[in-house]
């Protein structure tokens, strides 16, 4: 075939025919899997129940609970319409402070510390009264604090601390 004719034929092929080329796709590489590291287990939340109007225990006193049977009996008296929360009495025990009747819901019972001495476990607690001059709702309250602590075979003693009013914390309002 004549080279001129061959070039014409190629030109006509080029004009009338389009060569469709497929784009070359890069190979898809999946990244290596990220290793799953589960979060560390959460530290157990300290178990504590506080309040002043949601208990049926109206007398002043302290409680030490060292077994499931005592716990169920106590909780049925404290919150008669609820199941007792789970407590592992093989390694824990429960202590509680009840202040008895108070004239407003501003009173608070608070277990501030638990100390291990050579002959006893000492539970320090305090009764916090509402600051002087604050408005309080006249509701009869029964403040309490119940706390789960490490189990001990030692005698448990309760130590009531005295609250001290500090005027600099609650300064008196000056009259204009």
Tell whether 27 is covered by a domain: no
- Residue tagged 């204009």 (tokens): 176
Tell whether 138 is covered by a domain: yes
CA distance linking residue 108 with residue 145, whole number of Å? 8
Tell whether 146 is covered by a domain: yes
**Whose CA is closest to 147, among 94, 83, 109, 110?**
94
* pLDDT for the residue 78: 96
Q: Is the pTM of this model over 0.75?
A: no
pLDDT above 80 for 154: yes
CA distance linking residue 79 with residue 37, whole number of Å? 41
Tell whether 11 is covered by a domain: no
Tell which wins on pLDDT, 52 or 94: 94
pLDDT digits (tens, 9 = 90+) for 98-122: 999 998 888 999 999 999 999 999 9
Boundaries of domain holding 71: 48-161
**Average model confidence (pLDDT) across the chain:** 82
Can you say whether the dihedral through the CA atoms of 68, 74, 75, 76 is positive or negative? positive
pLDDT digits (tens, 9 = 90+) for 27-72: 777 777 878 777 777 655 669 999 988 999 999 999 999 999 999 9
Tell whether 24 is covered by a domain: no
Quote the percentage of the chain above a pLDDT of 90: 55
Tell whether 110 is covered by a domain: yes
Tell whether 172 is covered by a domain: no
Tell whether 149 is covered by a domain: yes
**Whose CA is closest to 143, among 103, 104, 94, 107?**
107
The total domain count for the chain is 1
């Amino acid at each position: 075939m004549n080279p001129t004719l061959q070039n014409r034929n190629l030109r006509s092929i080029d004009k009338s025919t389009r060569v469709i080329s497929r784009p070359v796709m890069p190979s898809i590489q999946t990244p290596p899997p990220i290793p799953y590291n589960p979060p560390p287990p959460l530290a157990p939340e300290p178990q504590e129940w506080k309040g002043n109007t949601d208990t049926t225990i109206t007398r002043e006193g302290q409680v030490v609970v060292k077994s499931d049977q005592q716990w169920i009996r106590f909780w049925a008296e404290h919150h008669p319409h609820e199941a007792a929360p789970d407590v592992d009495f093989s390694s824990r025990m429960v202590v509680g402070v009840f202040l008895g009747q108070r004239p407003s819901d501003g009173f608070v019972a608070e277990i501030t510390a638990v100390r291990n001495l050579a002959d006893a476990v000492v539970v320090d607690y305090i009764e916090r009264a509402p600051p002087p001059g604050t408005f309080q709702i006249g509701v009869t309250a029964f403040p309490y604090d119940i706390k789960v602590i490490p189990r001990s075979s030692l005698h448990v003693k309760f130590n009531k601390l005295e609250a001290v009013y500090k005027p600099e914390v609650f300064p008196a309002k000056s009259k204009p």
